[in-house]
Amino acid sequence: MIYPKILYSNSLRGLTPSWSGTTLSGKPPANAIDWSDYSYFEADTGVLDFTVAVDTTLDTFSAYVAKFTGTGTETIELQYESAASTFTSLVTINPAGGKLTFNEFTAVTVLATRKIRIIITVGTGSLLIRQLVAGSSMVAEQGQYQSATSPRLLGGVKVTNTISANGSILGRSIKRVERMGKLELEYLTPAWVRATWEPFAAHAARYPFIYAWNTRDYPTEIAFSACEGIDTPKHMGKGDKMSVSMKLRNLIADEFAI
């Protein structure tokens, strides 16, 4: 049984970032927290600060880097202000080793008026960042069974054959199908559906999210996903359990290399 994890609650969204580096090519830091797959934050070395308005819990960090240039030693480090003007490191990633990451750590609380800090270090060149997400991940109450599909596997192909009058195959047109998937969970308590699934579904109806389909066996197979349709939660009958499902369009980092 596979318990998917989803990072959609971005504590950085809606905050005004303070950036100590240079804004390159007209691609400002705000582009990295807008949940868009077409806008970029182009970064050299610098410090990105977000001041939170309310107490904020963090346990997961995701960085979606579309392209990096340089020596391969570039790093993105997440910190939080644990005491006044004192910053504690939570996780450091190397985007050269993984362009879309899902990094979990022991939960911490950033108190109101304190900062979440992201330190970007670039040897030469720049990092082209699509999305930065820091927040609390949603863990499914129950796992997936046969509906669990890796977003990295080929989504299938559609073959159109051109056939002559005598039935001979003259040629084929091959079209790769997008990497589609389905998030399907069963035997859920009504309380979990109302308190956890419904807020996520409301987000997914409008914005993408970070989808980790199986962090146990395939921790690097992370997708930037968008929903293609959300089914109404259904009662399963016996035991007052419920089921939910959502069709997904999964995009992996390699597909966005530019």
pLDDT in tens, 198-218: 999 999 999 999 999 988 888
pLDDT at 256 over 60: no
Collect contacts of 206-209 with beta carbons under 8 A, ≥24 apart.
207/8, 207/35, 208/35, 208/37, 209/6, 209/7, 209/8, 209/35
pLDDT in tens, 76-135: 999 999 999 999 999 999 887 667 889 999 999 999 999 999 999 988 888 889 999 999
**Cα gap 49→45, rounded to integer Å:** 13
**Cα gap 102→219, rounded to integer Å:** 8
pLDDT at 38 over 60: yes
Residue 58, Cα to own-chain centre: how many angstroms?
15
Q: What is the pLDDT of residue 257?
A: 43
Domains with residue ranges and CATH for the chain: 7-137 (2.60.120.260)
pLDDT band at 240 (very low <50, low <70, confident <90, very high): confident
pLDDT at 27 over 80: yes
Nearest residue to 95 via CA among 138, 49, 41, 39: 41
Q: What is the pLDDT of residue 114?
A: 98
Q: What six digits make up the tokens of 206? A: 């409008």
Q: What six digits make up the tokens of 174? A: 């091959």
**Cα gap 57→243, rounded to integer Å:** 28
Average pLDDT over residues 64-68: 80
- Give 38-81 as a 3 state SS string: CCCEEECCEEEEEECCCCEEEEEEEEEEEEECCCCCCEEEEEEE
**Cα gap 91→190, rounded to integer Å:** 35
**Cα gap 39→51, rounded to integer Å:** 23
pLDDT in tens, 153-170: 766 667 788 888 787 787
Helix boundaries (H) for the chain: 190-192, 198-204
pLDDT at 176 over 60: no
